[in-house]
């Protein structure tokens, strides 16, 4: 109820509130609700590149790897890169079992962001690691979800090795 009230009291900040709520849902591993909030924020403010990057990453988290790949192509085509774009793209490439040469190309593109945003990137992927491990520890997850998250876990560890 307070979320709705915040938007009513300050409608000019509605996109910010949707993003904040989306982040809160993401940290709880509630990717479906999170993507809805980010998509709503994007409709309200389609110039915020972090919002679009989050939508693309959430598509990956939801197992929509091909849709995430398409989103990354749009990011690269339209100059919407953020400090975590290349590292998130590496997760997708790893998931799709792309060769080391292709992954290394994006590792090189990631290097300037590591130099300028190392602490932020570490926090992002440590949180990603925590969320993925929590999903894997849930009782009764289906085989497809388990397999996806095990592969994601390996990709996250790869990205963390690049950042460290």
Q: What would the pLDDT profile of 71-82 be if each residue is shown by its tens digit?
A: 999 999 999 999
Query: Rg of the chain over CA atoms, in angstroms?
Result: 16
Q: Measured between alpha carbons, how far is 50 from 160 in angstroms, rounded to an integer?
A: 20
Whether 23 and 48 share a structural domain: yes
Whether 77 and 128 share a structural domain: no
Other beta carbons within 10 angstroms of residue 146's beta carbon come to 13
How many domains would you assign to the chain? 2
Q: Are the CB atoms for 5 and 13 separated by under 8 Å?
A: no
Last residue of a domain, one of 39, 60, 82: 82
Last residue of a domain, one of 82, 104, 129: 82
Q: Return the sign of the alpha-carbon dihedral for residues 149, 154, 156, 157.
A: positive
Q: Are the CB atoms for 131 and 29 separated by under 8 Å?
A: yes
Whether 72 and 4 share a structural domain: yes
Model confidence at 1, pLDDT cuts 50, 70, 90, reads: very low
Last residue of a domain, one of 82, 99, 119: 82
Which residue is listed with tokens 């080391």?
100
Per-residue pLDDT reduced to its tens digit, 33-70: 999 999 999 998 888 999 999 999 999 999 999 999 99
pTM score, whole prediction: 0.90
Domain that holds residue 21: 1-82
Q: Return the sign of the alpha-carbon dihedral for residues 43, 44, 46, 50.
A: negative
Q: Are the CB atoms for 21 and 37 separated by under 8 Å?
A: yes
Quote the DSSP letter at residue 60. H
Whether 60 and 123 share a structural domain: no
Whether 74 and 105 share a structural domain: no
Model confidence at 18, pLDDT cuts 50, 70, 90, reads: confident
**Helix boundaries (H) for the chain:** 2-9, 14-27, 31-44, 49-61, 65-77, 85-95, 100-137, 143-163
């Amino acid at each position: 109820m307070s979320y709705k009230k915040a938007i009513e009291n300050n409608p000019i900040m509605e996109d910010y509130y949707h993003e904040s709520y989306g982040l809160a849902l993401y940290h709880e591993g509630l990717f479906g609700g999170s993507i809805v909030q980010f998509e709503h924020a994007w409709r309200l403010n389609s110039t915020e590149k972090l919002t679009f990057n989050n939508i693309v990453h959430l598509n990956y988290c939801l197992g929509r790897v091909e849709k995430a790949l398409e989103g990354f192509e749009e990011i690269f085509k339209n100059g919407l890169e953020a400090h975590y774009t290349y590292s998130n793209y590496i997760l997708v490439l790893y998931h799709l079992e792309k060769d080391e040469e292709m992954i290394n190309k994006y590792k090189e593109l990631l290097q300037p962001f590591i130099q300028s945003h190392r602490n932020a990137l570490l926090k992002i992927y440590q949180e990603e690691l925590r969320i993925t491990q929590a999903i894997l520890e849930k009782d009764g997850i289906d085989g497809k979800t388990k397999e996806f998250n095990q592969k994601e876990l390996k990709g996250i560890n790869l990205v963390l090795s690049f950042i460290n």
